Structure 1
Amino acid sequence: MRPEDVNLVAIGQRRVAGLRRDEVARLAGISQEYYIRLEQGRDHQPSDQVLRALARALRLGSDGVEYMHRLVRIQSGGVRLQDSEELAAAVDEGLRSMLAQWPSTPAMIVDRNLGIRMSNESARSELPGRWEPGSNAALVVFGDDWKRCDLQWERSARTTAAALRYSSDPGDPELHDLVGVLSLRDATFRGLWGNHLAAPPVVTEVDLVTSDGEESSFTQQAFQVPGDRGLVLIVLHRGQLGQAARSA
């Protein structure tokens, strides 16, 4: 955000285009000293009132607000509930059965770091790249095979980078390794990650050249899996929803 975006007058030389700390603090109605403590991580438990004020000052959307609240919960050391082994096994069995019953609809289950936990035969055979369990959706999307076949790759790249940041734990060593690999491999990823995009992959359009050489338009939808493991079901389907979105 620039000063003129929030009706502020830009005074003096600026090293960066965005708002200064004192400007953000003023817009949020808090002291600059307190805002600096928040930036530096010296205050781990800001009140909901302060978070709402910062969200208004930075004009965050609903996804940005939810992401900010989740980061605060992680930073403040909130207890994370774990699914029981029995519940996890029952959920996984149901998911495997469901994915297997979609022979012409690519579908997969990913974790917080977009690691692929499950995928059906349609995902593995139709989609470019390696959609096998143990692979990673972000590595696939930023890989050469997917880039060659995705007719709107820039859109997919933005969506994937935003979903990875939104769902992951910033303190997770596995995330750090993944981001390091992607940053070394791909300049586009470095730029997107540096922009701090954060949004869940709810509904988006994906236009691909599939393994049979045909151009296909999919509607990609994401659904939270019940439980506390941060799993998401991603389905790519052809149908009226995709046709309506393309004609709108």
Structure 2
Amino acid sequence: MAASGDPQALGQLLRSRRERLRPSDVGLPAGRRRRTAGLRREEVALLANMSTTYYTFLEQGRPARPSAQVLDALADALRMSAAERQYLRVLARVGEEPLRAGAADAPAEWIDPGVVALVQRLEPFPTIVKGRRWDVLASNPAGHELFTDWDALPTGERNLVRWMFTAPRAREVYLEWEPEARAMLGRFRLAAARHPDDPGFEALIAELKRDSEEVRQWWPRHDVTAVGSGSKKLRHPTLGPLDYSHVVLQVADNPDQTMVTYSVAGTVG
């Protein structure tokens, strides 16, 4: 039987996006003075061509199985981005099953030795491989130098998201720390939504909320970011501030694992 998704998180996402919109954003008149932020529920229902009662049930987190057509209509009505649409479908479990690899009885995450060897061959380009919970599973010397010596950290602390939000060095390396941290948390949230039965995700999220004021503030917003290649402004410990381009590759034999490799694009102007 297909999983029923996460109706509570789905409802929270819908409400947060409804409250961010103004009537003028969707072509509606402002009307009388409003007592609540954003659009009214009946306005979203009208835009999505559904009953207010049904939309209210969804936003309240009641168990439901909205179809792909309903989700598309809601995404259009709420002006969702591509990443938000993907997140909406993951929460509703439409078009994909939740991944079970992180369940309590699953084996520990394993990385193919051939992937580890490839990471080393990419030296001197900083390269890391992160797993399903964003644990750093492999890194070459250039990756250690640019970010941190992952192998020297205790096993439970070799996590990219944990490092980003709790290590002082992360704020030195990322010249634009806040937007980069927000984006990383958004990508991590999308990964966590795909593993609803993974207690490791739950424990890590609880620790991040405990140890980071930013995570406590940002997590309830349900912001998500798509995974993709791009550029970053980073401070190398010996070369100083540089523009880096990075490429993200999925490991074919284990789609939960991704390789990220960096190359210098130029000096920071």
TM-score range, shorter chain: 0.7 to 0.9
Corresponding position: 1:50 with 2:70: yes
2:55 matched to which residue of 1?
35
Give CA deviations for 1:76-129 in whole Å, capped at 9, x if unaligned: 9936476xxxxx97x7122111101011111111123222222222211232x4
Find the aligned partners of 2:98 and 2:201 in 1 and give their Cα distance: 20
State the partner residue of 1:78: 97
Q: Specify which of 163, 169, 187 is matched with residue 140 of structure 1.
A: 163
Letter in 1 for 2:205: V
Which residue pairs with 1:156 in the alignment?
A: 180
| Equivalent position to 1:168, from 162, 178, 192 | 192
Give me the whole-angstrom Cα distance separating, in 1, the residues matched to 2:96 and 2:57: 17
Superposition deviation, residue 231 in structure 1? 1.5
Q: Report matched runs for 1:95-134 at 5 Å.
A: 95-127=115-147, 129-132=148-151
The aligned counterpart of 1:12 is: 33
**Partner residue, 1:209:** 235
- CA 1:131 to 1:22, structure 2 compared with 1: closer, same or farther past 3 Å? farther
Check 1:130–1:27 CA distance in 2 against 1; reply closer, same or farther (3 A cut). farther
What's the TM-score, normalizing by structure 2?
0.75
- Pick from 175, 178, 182: which aligns with 2:208? 182
Deviation at 1:230, TM superposition (A): 1.6
- CA–CA distance in structure 2, aligned partners of residues 212 and 69 of structure 1: 44
Root-mean-square deviation (CA, aligned residues, Å) is: 3.0
Aligned length: 235
TM-score (norm 1): 0.81
Answering whether residue 225 of structure 2 is matched by residue 199 of structure 1, we say yes
* Equivalent AA in structure 2 for residue 211 of structure 1: P
- C-alpha distance in 1, partners of 2:246/2:213? 25
Shift of 1:227: 4.0
1:85 alignment partner in structure 2: none
- Could you tell me which of 201, 204, 219 is aligned with 2:245? 219
* Distance across 1 between alignment mates of 2:73 and 2:169: 44
Q: 1:116 to 1:44 in 2, by over 3 A?
A: farther
Measured after TM superposition, the shift of residue 29 of structure 1 is 0.8
Task: Identify if the C-alpha distance between structure 1 residues 80 and 152 changes in structure 2 by more than 3 Å, giving closer, same or farther.
Answer: closer
Cα distance in structure 2, aligned partners of 1:227 and 1:18: 44
Task: Give unmatched runs, 5+ long, in structure 1.
Answer: 83-87
Segments of 5+ residues of structure 2 without an aligned counterpart are 1-20, 102-108
* Structure 1 equivalent of residue 16 of structure 2: none
Per-residue deviation, residues 162-215 of structure 1 (Å, max 9, x unmatched): 111122236333223222222233332333323221122312322222232622
Question: What CA deviation, in whole Å up to 9, does each residue of 1:40-64 have, x standing for no partner?
Answer: 4434421111011011111122222
The 10-residue stretch of structure 1 (142-151 or 201-210) with the greater mean CA deviation from structure 2: 201-210
Q: Is the 1:141–1:156 Cα contact (8 Å) retained in structure 2? A: no
Q: Name the SS of the counterpart of 1:103 in structure 2.
A: coil
> In the alignment, is residue 231 of structure 1 matched against residue 252 of structure 2?
no
